[in-house]
Structure 1
Amino acid sequence: MKLKRKKQLVTTLNILDKPIRFNPFVFSRTFFLWALLGIVGGLIASTYWIILEFLTHKIAFFDGWQVIPAMTISGLLAGLIIYWIGDPGEIHLIVNNIRFNKGKLDPKNNPSMVLSSLLCVASGGSLGPEAPLVQVTGSTGTWLGKLCRLKGEELRSLSIAGMASGFTALFGAPLGGSLFSLEILHHKHAVEYYKAIIPALVASSFSYVVFAVIIELGLGATWSLTAYEYEGVFDFAYAVLFALAGTFMGWVFIYCTKFFKTVFEKFTIPIYIKTTVGGIILGVIAYYLPLTRYFGHHEINELIGQSLPLTTLFAILVFKIIAIAVTVTSGWRGGFIIPLFFVGTTLGLIIHHFFPSTNLTLTIVSCMAGINACVTRTPMSTTILLATLTGFSYFIPILFASLTGYFLAPRIPFIQSQLKEQKA
């Protein structure tokens, strides 16, 4: 034992005797690679958003009964793009490739993803641009990594950093976007990718600056909720109770999606027929309930600003969940995080009708956190994202709500690739 300690001491002294190469900075050359990826990600996200806004304004010209044929034709065109160019996959494929395909996201899926998602989101589908942006910027990270001859965890980290840069650009939360890119991979194994957190933070920060300069989106709170003031320890109990309602709606959404998936899979029909049928259903829902159209980024403020009767709120809640489920299962492309926040907002307004003495902001944000953490299993990033998007500065109640949704989520995750074990 003494001999072993003596050898360790000698080794330590030998190390100390060696000349030290002085480096005044922590960052290395790879910092500039992460920064470049963030800048490119910000430019990609800005370009996508500008085109999306342009198309949305053009297609929004068709309202009233015209929304039905407009969304039907958009569904048909999106389906034809996927049929001809190739299926770009969904968030399940992204997670699966990061975990099991050595962190590689294939850029060849980007043309189909970009074109189909632009049509789907701009025409009024109930999915947002976050998933397409994550796919495109993540695959850009893979491409840049291969260009620099990176392998293994370095390549995977760059792909994750690319995902974070795209997600951050839309939400305006570098820390939340970075954590989301890790949490979404798997609720048990995200720690395996801890090395990617610094690359993700750097890329997210640069992407945020570029996107904010060009678009000015994500500067300050996005949704106009009244300022929250802490009223006592019972606020934590309220947050958990409201999150229970949000979690319940998360379960409803998951099973509603499974139902429509079963229905669409019963018929062996081309993808463009599925997207066309989806467009008809979404158009009819949007005709009767216009607030259910689009993914909810602007509609959340409209919902909060109007004093809608309880029956209308219930109708919006039910049919928005159906609209998201149909959008997901009929082949339309996009992400479901902001739409779930819209559902949480509607649920919060309904609860406030029955319990008007409770804080409206706390009610809405807790429902948002509960439903999103239940479906995506991302409690940490959900907390930070909602604090940023709503201006909810005292975010601990949001954390309680997010953890409630996370721990009461179904055993089998909605994103099925989160369930698979790492292959040998």
Structure 2
Amino acid sequence: MDRIRSFFRNPIFVLSRKNPFMLSRWSILYVLLGLFGGLFAALFWKVLEYLTVFIGKLEGPWIIALMTVSGLGIGLIIYFLGEPGEISLVIDNIRFKGGKLDTKSNPSMAASSLLSISSGGSAGPEAPLIQIIGSIGSWFAELLGLEGEELRSMTIAGMASGFTSLFGSPLGGALFALEILQHRHVVEYYEALLPAFLSSCSAYFVFLWMTDMGIGPTWQFPQYVPGGIEDFENAIAFGIAGAAVGWIFYGVFRATKFSFAKVPGPIFVKTTLGGLLLGCIAFYQPLTRYFGHDQLNQIVTTQGNWIFFGSLVLLKILAINTTISSGWRGGIIIPLFFVGATTGRFLMDFFPTENESFLLICLMASVNASVTKTPVSTTILLADLTGVSSFTPVLFASLSGYFLSPKAPFIRSQADSN
């Protein structure tokens, strides 16, 4: 450890403190952390893609058996490797334990989340990446002998790099890593803002270089054509609709959480039962399977009436909450975007509009803000993910969804700041 610390006292880092520019040795460290975060995220994504293609070959009734067995495998991984934790624990550690995240749970989190996501669970890779790379940032800070806000900033920078790698939005990813840590304040740990931006940018560069994903929008929505004041009025109305979906989501979450808490036995009993239920839902409605990254484009073009899309919204909400409540691992951001877009398709039968993409994006923003309590970063993320250039009306929808959402948050650690 002394050798490592002495390495960062070499002439390069010493000169960085004496140069006439704003560049400092801390800037270099945050960039290095981001480079590593982008490398890990790219490898995680490639393994995930391979496993998804390999496992996804099974169709029809075999999906039920596959997801049941996968649930058993997820439970056994957690049973033998240890409890990997969840985003609430990460938030608690950031806020109340000086930002220190333990790397011991990383093997369990990586293995269980890879199997959860690739076999079709309704949760995405953002939560595992945030936790794993954030803990590596914490380890890196301890290695350098950092304490207090410096350690916390390094951890948050790691979280931001993991989030940005997946979503391709350095600004939105950095803000999300800060905004999700509290319920009331957009950025409480403002000291970590610039470190998060630096780490996010370098992680994004490495992730793009290794995956060749490009810098265009992730989802191909028709371009939104800005109108007048009516766009803001519509955005608020869409935000109210998104908040209503958020209330439904929270109610289903309470029911599934209570139900699975009553299941006796070790963790693999719950995960197996969860896999069985997820398999049945996916067999009945295949679009509920997976976390929605690829399926979201299909929502734009899929033909169906309000009954089809309304039932898809409810089944996807049930699938997301079954995934989380039964002990499967993953994040809910992209699944919530899927729910929002599907809700938009449902409303089109009742409120026809020429700006269909505007309706979908507003619902995506308001539903996600309602559940995750992140209205600002959600808006910026969607601007990059969908290519919308005039995103101010979307912010109105996002804020409406947030302020009309349940006071009791989905992520329980956020309630402490309320």
Superposed pair shares fold, TM > 0.5: yes
Q: Are 1:210 and 2:203 counterparts?
A: no
Separation in 2 of the partners of 1:48 and 1:242? 35
2:193 to 186, 197, 201: 197
Separation in 2 of the partners of 1:309 and 1:417? 39
Partner of 2:287: 291
Equivalence map 1:1-400=2 (5 Å) = 23-189=19-185, 191-217=187-213, 219-400=215-396
Are the aligned partners of 1:172 and 1:388 in contact in 2 as well (CA < 8 Å)? yes
**SS of equivalent residue, structure 2 residue 32:** helix
Partner of 1:14: none
Shift of 1:308: 2.0
Are the aligned partners of 1:38 and 1:165 in contact in 2 as well (CA < 8 Å)? yes
Partner of 1:12: none
Shift of 1:158: 0.4
State the AA in 1 paired with 2:267.
I
C-alpha spacing 1:40/1:220, structure 2 compared with 1 (3 Å): same
Shift of 1:241: 0.5
Of 166-175 and 266-275, deviating more is 266-275
User: Per-residue displacement from partner, 1:262-307 (whole Å, max 9, x unpaired)?
Assistant: 1111233211010000000000110111011000000001121221
User: Per-residue displacement from partner, 1:358-378 (whole Å, max 9, x unpaired)?
Assistant: 411111011111111111111
**SS of equivalent residue, structure 1 residue 263:** helix
Runs of 4+ more than 6 Å apart: none
Separation in 2 of the partners of 1:25 and 1:333? 44
Separation in 1 of the partners of 2:67 and 2:411? 27
Are the aligned partners of 1:96 and 1:417 in contact in 2 as well (CA < 8 Å)? yes
Are the aligned partners of 1:164 and 1:181 in contact in 2 as well (CA < 8 Å)? yes
User: Per-residue displacement from partner, 1:63-105 (whole Å, max 9, x unpaired)?
Assistant: 1111000111111000000011101111111111111111011
Shift of 1:23: 4.3
Are the aligned partners of 2:160 and 2:199 in contact in 1 as well (CA < 8 Å)? yes
Shift of 1:329: 0.2
Of 215-224 and 338-347, deviating more is 215-224
Alignment RMSD (CA, Å): 1.3
Are the aligned partners of 1:171 and 1:218 in contact in 2 as well (CA < 8 Å)? no
Shift of 1:421: 5.2
C-alpha spacing 1:289/1:421, structure 2 compared with 1 (3 Å): closer
C-alpha spacing 1:182/1:269, structure 2 compared with 1 (3 Å): same
Equivalent pairs, count: 402
**SS of equivalent residue, structure 1 residue 186:** coil
Shift of 1:155: 0.3
- TM-score (norm. length: structure 2): 0.94
Separation in 2 of the partners of 1:82 and 1:39? 29
Shift of 1:189: 4.7
C-alpha spacing 1:194/1:84, structure 2 compared with 1 (3 Å): same
**SS of equivalent residue, structure 2 residue 98:** coil
Are the aligned partners of 2:68 and 2:275 in contact in 1 as well (CA < 8 Å)? yes
State the AA in 1 paired with 2:306.
L
State the AA in 1 paired with 2:382.
L
Are the aligned partners of 2:178 and 2:188 in contact in 1 as well (CA < 8 Å)? no
Separation in 2 of the partners of 1:399 and 1:139? 31
Are the aligned partners of 1:80 and 1:272 in contact in 2 as well (CA < 8 Å)? yes
Shift of 1:413: 1.4
User: Per-residue displacement from partner, 1:309-354 (whole Å, max 9, x unpaired)?
Assistant: 3222122111000000100100000000000000001000111121
Separation in 2 of the partners of 1:341 and 1:192? 25
Partner of 2:398: 402
Of 399-408 and 120-129, deviating more is 399-408
Larger radius of gyration between Structure 1 and Structure 2:
1
Shift of 1:22: 7.5
C-alpha spacing 1:229/1:421, structure 2 compared with 1 (3 Å): closer
Are the aligned partners of 2:305 and 2:349 in contact in 1 as well (CA < 8 Å)? no
Shift of 1:211: 0.3
Partner of 1:6: none
Are the aligned partners of 1:139 and 1:162 in contact in 2 as well (CA < 8 Å)? yes
Are the aligned partners of 2:243 and 2:405 in contact in 1 as well (CA < 8 Å)? yes
Please list every run of 5 or more consecutive structure 2 residues that lacks an aligned counterpart in the other structure.
Answer: 1-16
Shift of 1:215: 0.9
Shift of 1:192: 3.1
Q: Identity across aligned pairs (percent)?
A: 53
Please list every run of 5 or more consecutive structure 1 residues that lacks an aligned counterpart in the other structure.
Answer: 1-20
State the AA in 1 paired with 2:397.
A
Separation in 1 of the partners of 2:278 and 2:346? 23
